[in-house]
A and B are shown apart, each in its own frame.
Chain A
Amino acid sequence: MSSHGQAQLAAALQEIVGFLVVSARGLIDEPPHYGPMRLLDAAARVVDALEEEGLTTPDTPRFREGIESVLDAWGASTDEFVASLDAVILGLVD
């Protein structure tokens, strides 16, 4: 990876670290079911950062699609959200 790419990745990861720290504080006051969403958003941000620097595996696109499907299910029924999440988890061991 070029030094520019390394700097880009470092900046993206630093943003994610900050997001996790701020989320930790926010979740003390926020509804408990926001927790899963914050973790999934962090996962999506990590995948974004890795993809932008070409640090992917053959499984990355499938993993990304899974996370995005769960994010899209947010706001729908809890059952739909949990089912989407379960599908992604089972996909991890295909």
Chain B
Amino acid sequence: MDVREAIRTRRSVRRYSDAAVDIQVLHRLVEAGCWAPTADNAQTWRFVVVTDAARMSKLRMIAPGFIGRAPAAIAVCQDMAEAERRLGAADAMALAPMDSAMAALNIMLEAHAEGLGTCVVASFNRDALQKLLRLPEHVVPLLLVAVGYAKATPSAPPREVDGVCYFEEYHE
């Protein structure tokens, strides 16, 4: 799939079929995430792939933003201890979430190219997710990406470029 087409046709999917996602495919999605840029090339992200039915049930409980019954999820996390060591505390706080967001977008575009639907989720109880995934205190979950085969694909809300794009100088 052409990158332009992928960017414009990806949707946030909230209804999924029951079909499982192959573990090798999920691994490829994480690999795509690892090709995202990072501040100082720090690559302090950590990814936890979840497919186990019982764990997914608990995930749906503690992540209210996780709408629909996607059969898999990828938690995009940051090793904040390592990020602080590489970037300093202030930059780690500011930049690690951006790195995670760029990785998540790569994951979603790769998934789209694979014929999968995704939805990025930030509405979850962080402490509970940390416990569910057995993350140590310094590894912080920042985003969840729901992954599965779309049962329904929503239409795209309009995108307005005029009015948000300025050349050379901002003006009211």
Q: For residue B60, which residues in chain A have a CB less than 8 angstroms away from its CB?
A: 15, 19
Q: How many angstroms from the CA of A37 to the CA of B119 in the assembled complex?
A: 15
Chain B CB within 8 A of A71 CB: yes
Q: For residue A34, which residues in chain B have a CB less than 8 angstroms away from its CB?
A: 64, 123
Chain A CB within 8 A of B20 CB: no
B64/A68 in contact, CB under 8 A: no
Interface contact tally, CB-CB below 8 A: 50
Q: Decide if the interface of chain A is mainly helix, strand, loop or mixed.
A: helix
Q: Decide if the interface of chain B is mainly helix, strand, loop or mixed.
A: loop
Chain A CB within 8 A of B12 CB: yes
Chain A CB within 8 A of B157 CB: yes
Chain A CB within 8 A of B46 CB: no
Chain B CB within 8 A of A10 CB: no
Chain B CB within 8 A of A22 CB: yes
A22 with B125, Cβ < 8 A, contacts A15-B57, A72-B152, A72-B154 known: yes
Taking beta carbons and an 8 Å cutoff, which residues of A are in contact with B? 11, 15, 18-19, 22-23, 25-26, 30, 34, 37-38, 41, 48, 68, 71-72, 74-77
Taking beta carbons and an 8 Å cutoff, which residues of B are in contact with A? 12, 14-15, 57-58, 60-64, 67, 69, 123-125, 128, 152, 154-155, 157
